[in-house]
Structure 1
Amino acid sequence: MKIAAISSGGGHWIELQRIAPAFEDHDVFYISTHKNLGDTVQGRKFYTIPDASRWNKLKLLLVAFEVMKLMIFNRPDIVISTGAAPGVFGILAGKMLGAKTIWLDSIANVEHISLSGKLALHIADRVYTQWPSLADKNIIYAGNVL
């Protein structure tokens, strides 16, 4: 089973690393926005993409292109993301290529699901929250990772 694990840096990356033991026996490759994060996944393929947010629409297009290119090149069976924008593009690209997709919304989103999570709700096979109060028929609560 080939797994693409994708997130932006910071807290999203920390949460992705907290769930990484769940797929350590699989062929995993990582995608993130900071080159130095590759040091935390030694022995695994790691790809760096540009960092972008909704405030820089042109750069978001570049991120989308880079993520799609990596997904086509690697052909994952499963795509998992903890956010933010790069994760949405990873989920979308994975879905287009026939992969199963999982979104884990950040624990920082206490009162409502993130904007990226709202987008992922329309694409991902499974969407998880880390807060029981945010669970509903489309969003699964199964605990938190921190």
Structure 2
Amino acid sequence: MKICLVGSSGGHLTHLKQLEPVWHKHDRFWVTFDKPDASSYLTEERWYKAYFPTNRNVFNLIRNTFVAFRVLLKERPDVIISSGAGVAVPFFYIGKLIGAKLVYIEVFDRIDKSTVTGRLVYPITDKFIVQWDEMKKVYPKAINLGSLF
């Protein structure tokens, strides 16, 4: 199985790192921002650089859509996993088009309110994971697996 782990650097990357028991034995690649935490952690990993900032930045959304097309058509992952943020959106929609399974993990600091990325990808995910019971009211089809920390 080939896994694509896509997310912003910082806390989103930390969330994905917490999933190491899930991804460590699989062929995988990462998509994140070229920032010190990402380049430090991913030195031994295959990774692709996405454009930032993504918050309400249409230009970088378009650029990241082209990155998503290029990377996903080259790599052809079976599964795409993300904990956000905006960089996940084009990867999920293009991933859906190529038949990848989509797993989204809503961030830990959201207890009873959705994120923009969560709202955008919720309708197309195969598994939508939350970390608080209260979030099941926001995302009724979600699965609560508890805290990643």
**Alpha-carbon distance between aligned partners in 1 of 2:35 and 2:67, rounded to the nearest angstrom:** 15
Structure 2 counterpart of 1:144, one-letter code: S
Residue pair 1:35, 1:48 contacting (<8 A) in 2 also? no
Residue 23 of structure 1 is matched in structure 2 by 23
TM-score, length of structure 2 as denominator length: 0.91
Q: Is contact 2:9-2:35 (8 Å) kept?
A: no
Unaligned runs of 5+ in 1: none
Quick one: percent identity of the two aligned structures?
26
The 1:41–1:53 alpha-carbon spacing in structure 2 relative to 1, beyond 3 Å, is closer
- Provide the residue aligned with 1:34 in structure 2: 34
Q: How many residues align?
A: 146
1:72 aligns with 2:73: yes
CA distance in structure 2 between the partners assigned to 1:55 and 1:92 by the alignment: 17
Note the 1:1-146 alignment, pairs <5 A.
1-36=1-36, 37-135=38-136, 136-146=139-149
Cα deviation for residue 109 of structure 1 reads 1.3
Task: Please list every run of 5 or more consecutive structure 2 residues that lacks an aligned counterpart in the other structure.
Answer: none
- In the superposition, the TM-score normalised over structure 1's length comes to 0.93
Q: What is the aligned-residue RMSD (CA, Å)?
A: 1.4
Runs (4+) off by over 3 Å: none
By how many angstroms is 1:42 displaced?
3.5
